[in-house]
A and B are shown apart, each in its own frame.
Chain A
Amino acid sequence: MIVAPPHPREEARLHALADAQLLDTPPEAMFDDVVRLASYICEVPIALISLVDRDRQWFKARVGIDADESSRDVAFCAHAILDDSGMMQVEDARDDPRFADNPFVTGEPWVRFYAGVPLTIGDDDLPIGTLCAIDRKPRRLTPEQTEAMHALARQVVRNLEIGKAARRTVALNDELQRAATAQQASEARLRALVVANPDGMLRVARDGTVLDRKVARDRAIMPDPQHMLGRHVADCLPPRLARLFVQQLERTLASGAVHTLEIQELVDGQPCDKELRFVASGPDEALALIRDVTERKLGERAKDAFIATVSHELRTPVTSIRGSLSLLEHGMVGPLPEEALEMVRISRTNTERLLLVINDILDLEKLSAGQLDLSLRPVEPARVMKTAAESIRGMAAQAGVEVVVGDCAGAPVLADEARVIQVLNNLLSNAIKFSPRGARVDLSAEPGACGRLRLCVTDRGPGIAPEHHARVFERFHQVDASDSRERGGTGLGLAIVKSIVEEHGGVVGLDSAPGRGSKFWFELPCAGAAVKP
């Protein structure tokens, strides 16, 4: 007896067999009919649909024998699935060395004749088993019987494929149902979130059409919520808000980031502060969450007014102190002994320092109160760079630092010239303070993001570790606590820079690493591209 070798693609074949989900399943009428027909047509006592598993053959349908399965080693079908002629026929097993001493030949059921058609499925035509006809006496199939066997085998395969498709449909259906249930749950959660959130909400398409809305308690900015759907925001929001709204909508869709807009509207004569947070809710739509921040703003304004008053009350005595010291120092009220003069100088320079802090706080106060009152005009970057460098030359000379203004072929920016010079002055004076004697500081311009112009101040100072980058623009943040004492400065300069630049619709940034100097930069909208609210 010769045991059949494994199929050349045995693992894939076993996978296809498992995928057919037939092994060890209950009898099915269709397959039973096929083996009965095979037995009638071929006039044989035994017919089987045999599935060749890893170590056994298992009968999905059988006529003429009682067993469910047998070892693969003794299975005729294990040989038949290797046959690529379409059918393996053994006329008399006793004459075939593969089967002559097979126990099914030398004993029950006394097999002499065997004809098996491989059942091949899938795109690769892998044989998972056979449809076979078996007789106890030697013989051949007639051409008609052979054709019938092939036809029946095709029916079996087609039925397997239909079953597989049906199972896929059922699985798909289950999956869809699960997804639908999950979707419903998710929508319910979302609805609960929207209802629980006290904020108002507007969902708006890229072109400004209102897709959905939820009105908060007040009607400050949605005076007619019933008639907003399908209309353009310009037709249903107050005009100034509508303009800013469209701008933020475009920014949000362009950047994918969350954008915030703060606005004050009069409601029944009372100022009412709103904060709108924009977030993209699809490729062509955004969600605006609208929150009433009137109370918070009242608090902020009270604080700002307090700071303004304090600053004013500080400036008045400082005017007297500094004025007196200056007159004394310059001998306007008579000569002073050398040491007295030294004390007067110390007092005067410290008064200057105090004054710097007060001025910076006032500046920040104006910025946070939105009172900066920028006068925006096209500004030649080359000119402001030169002016700023010129005005700081004295300080640079004292520190032994050279300020070099690079080429600037940039387009004019839309800005308040005096404020841009203030920003550059702040950055340049920082750069000079942190530069070693003999080093140079570069002032340059280059194209920035989104059609903006980027102005850069580069020093060769100690540099700043990455963990400090985000915080250097915060108020009173000094990388090293001894900085303010050693180098002067209030810790407010960069906070002012950031506020002024952002008030222009620009951005600030920093490229730096310890030992590699720092490059502080800011970007301003170009005059051609920008539209100021």
Chain B
Amino acid sequence: MSAPEIRKVLLVDDEPDIRRIGQLSLERVGRWQVVLASSGAEALTLAASERPDVILLDVMMPVDDGPTTLARLRQQPSTADIPVVFMTAKVLAPEARRWRELGAAGTIPKPFDPMTLPDDIRRVLAAAEEGP
């Protein structure tokens, strides 16, 4: 079973530079429609209104961090089923395991390569589809 077709991505990161680079990558390399959010709260609103096919969520953000935002997304019926991929500059194996248990599809390490970011997202989603 292949991953569902991606048309729209919600990118959540508190760093404006990274939002901009991610946007360019997803738009120009992935040819996806991109919605940007700069905080967990904004992500909750946009996820509900925009219904993206996947959410790319930074882990370390002020106020609500990535895992907290994920838990909120899961509680909201309209966003509960949207796949979430974490992005982080600090990957430790035990943490990555915990995030998967929270319902994340997977993790993409920072720094990501904008030329391969869309493929990386597809690969993470496909692996999550295949099984735990």
Q: Which residues of B contact A327 (CB under 8 A)?
A: 21, 24-25, 28, 114-115
The 0/1 profile, CB within 8 Å of A marked 1, for residues 8-46 of chain B is 000000010110011011001100000000000000000
A319 touching B89, Cβ below 8 Å: yes
Chain B, Cβ-Cβ closest to A324: B21
Q: Using an 8 Å CB-CB cutoff, how does the interface string of A324-349 with B read, 1 for contact, 0 for none?
A: 10110010110000000000000000
> Which B residues are CB-close (under 8 A) to A330?
115
With contacts A324-B21, A326-B114, A327-B24 known, is A315 near B89, CB below 8 A?
yes
Is B94's CB under 8 angstroms from A373's CB?
yes
Is A319 touching B92 in the complex (CB atoms < 8 A)?
A: no
Interface-central residue, A312, A320, A324, A375, by most chain B CB under 10 Å = A320
A25 within 8 A of B: no
User: Taking A327-B24, A332-B24, A373-B94 as contacts, is the C-beta distance between A312 and B89 under 8 angstroms?
Assistant: yes
| Contacting pair B29 A332 (CB below 8 A) | yes
Chain A nearest CB: distance from B127 CB in Å?
15
Proximity string of chain A (299-318) to chain B, C-beta cutoff 8 Å, 1 when within and 0 when not: 00000000010011001101
Q: Are A355 and B111 in contact (CB under 8 A)?
A: yes
Query: Is A86 among interface residues, defined by CB-CB distance under 8 A?
Result: no
B15→A316 contact, CB < 8 A: yes
A-B contact count (CB 8 A): 63
Q: Taking the complex as formed, is B110 at the interface, i.e. its CB lies under 8 A from any CB of chain A? A: yes
Interface residues of B in 93-116 (CB under 8 A from A): 93-94, 110-115
* CB <8 Å contact, B92 and A323: no
Q: Are A316 and B21 in contact, CB atoms less than 8 angstroms apart?
A: no
Q: Complex formed: what's the CA distance from A390 to B128 in Å?
A: 25
Instruction: Determine the residue in chain A with the shortest Cβ distance to B29.
Output: A332
Return the CB mask of A84-128 against B: 1 if under 8 Å, else 0.
000000000000000000000000000000000000000000000
Question: Is the CB–CB distance between A316 and B18 below 8 Å?
Answer: yes
Chain B residue at minimal CB-CB distance from A308: B90
B112 adjacent to A319 (CB under 8 Å): yes
Complex CA distance for A375 and B96, rounded to whole angstroms:
14
Whether B114 and A320, one on each chain, are in contact in the complex, defined by CB atoms closer than 8 angstroms, is no
Do the beta carbons of B17 and A320 come within 8 Å of each other?
Answer: yes
Partner of A312, one of B25, B90, B94, B112: B90
A322 at interface, CB cutoff 8 A: yes
Q: Which of B54-78 contact A (CB under 8 A)?
A: 60
Let me know if A316 and B90 touch, CB within 8 A. Answer: no
Check A323–B89 contact: CB distance below 8 A.
no
Any B CB within 8 A of the CB of A214: no
Task: Give 1 or 0 for each of A350-386: 1 = CB within 8 Å of chain B CB.
Answer: 0000010000001000100001010100000000000
Q: Given A315-B110, A318-B111, A323 and B93 touching (CB < 8 A)?
A: no
Nearest Cβ in chain A — how far from B10, in angstroms? Answer: 18
Given contacts A327-B114, A330-B115, contact A320 B90 (CB under 8 A): no
What is the interface residue range for chain A against chain B? 20 to 34
Contact of A323 among B60, B94, B112 (CB under 8 A): B112
Asked whether, in the complex, the Cβ of A326 is within 8 Å of the Cβ of B113, the reply is yes
Please state if A319 and B18 are interface contacts (CB–CB under 8 Å): yes
> Does A319 lie within 8 Å of B115, measured CB to CB?
no
Q: Which residues of A contact B111 (CB under 8 A)?
A: 315, 318-319, 322-323, 355
Would you call A316 and B110 a contact (CB within 8 A)?
yes
Q: How close is A282's CB to chain B, nearest CB, in angstroms?
A: 43
Query: In the complex, are the beta carbons of B92 and A373 less than 8 A apart?
Result: yes
Q: Closest residue to A319 on the B side, CB-wise?
A: B111
Contact in complex: A323, B90 (CB < 8 Å): no
Task: Using CB atoms, name the residue of chain B closest to A322.
Answer: B111
State the Cβ distance, B62 to closest chain A Cβ, in Å.
13
User: Provided the pairs A316-B89, A332-B29, A373-B94 are in contact, do residues A323 and B15 lie with their beta carbons within 8 angstroms?
Assistant: no
For A371, the closest partner residue in chain B by CB is B92
Contacts of A308 in B (CB 8 A): 90
Contact call A320/B15, Cβ cutoff below 8 A: yes
Q: Which residues of A contact B25 (CB under 8 A)?
A: 323, 327, 332
Given the known inter-chain contacts A312-B89, A327-B24, please indicate yes or no for A320 contacting B18, CB distance below 8 A.
yes
Which residues from chain A contact B22 at a C-beta distance below 8 Å? 323
Give A398-436 interface residues, CB cut-off 8 Å to B: none
Complex partner residue of A332 from B89, B94, B114, CB under 8 angstroms: B114
Q: Which of B21, B93, B114 contacts A373 (CB 8 A)?
A: B93
A186 vs B41: C-alpha distance when bound (angstroms):
74
Q: Tell me whether B92 and A320 are in contact (CB under 8 A).
A: no
Residues on the A chain within 8 Å of B21, using CB:
319-320, 323-324, 327
CA distance A366 to B92 in the complex (A): 8
B97, chain A: closest CB distance, angstroms: 9
Shortest beta-carbon distance, A472 to chain B, in Å?
Answer: 28
B110 to chain A: closest residue by CB: A319
Residue ID in chain A nearest B16 by CB atoms: A320
Residues of chain B lying within 8 A (CB to CB) of residue A312: 60, 89-90
Which residue from chain A places its CB closest to the CB of B60 in the assembled complex? A312
CB distance from A385 to the nearest CB of B (A): 23
In the complex, what distance in Å separates the CA atom of A333 from the CA atom of B29?
Answer: 11
A373: chain B residues at CB < 8 Å are 92-94
Task: Give 4 nearest A-B pairs by CB, closest first.
Answer: A319-B111, A323-B21, A320-B17, A315-B89
Q: Please report B residues at the A interface, Cβ cutoff 8 Å.
A: 15, 17-18, 21-22, 24-25, 28-29, 60, 89-90, 92-94, 110-115
Q: Enumerate chain A interface residues (CB-CB to B < 8 A).
A: 308, 311-312, 315-316, 318-320, 322-324, 326-327, 330, 332-333, 355, 362, 366, 371, 373, 375
Given contact pairs A315-B90, A318-B111, a sample of 19 additional A-B residue pairs in the complex whose CB atoms are under 8 Å apart: A308-B90, A312-B90, A315-B89, A315-B111, A316-B89, A316-B110, A319-B21, A320-B18, A323-B25, A323-B113, A323-B114, A327-B21, A327-B115, A332-B25, A332-B114, A333-B24, A355-B111, A362-B90, A373-B93
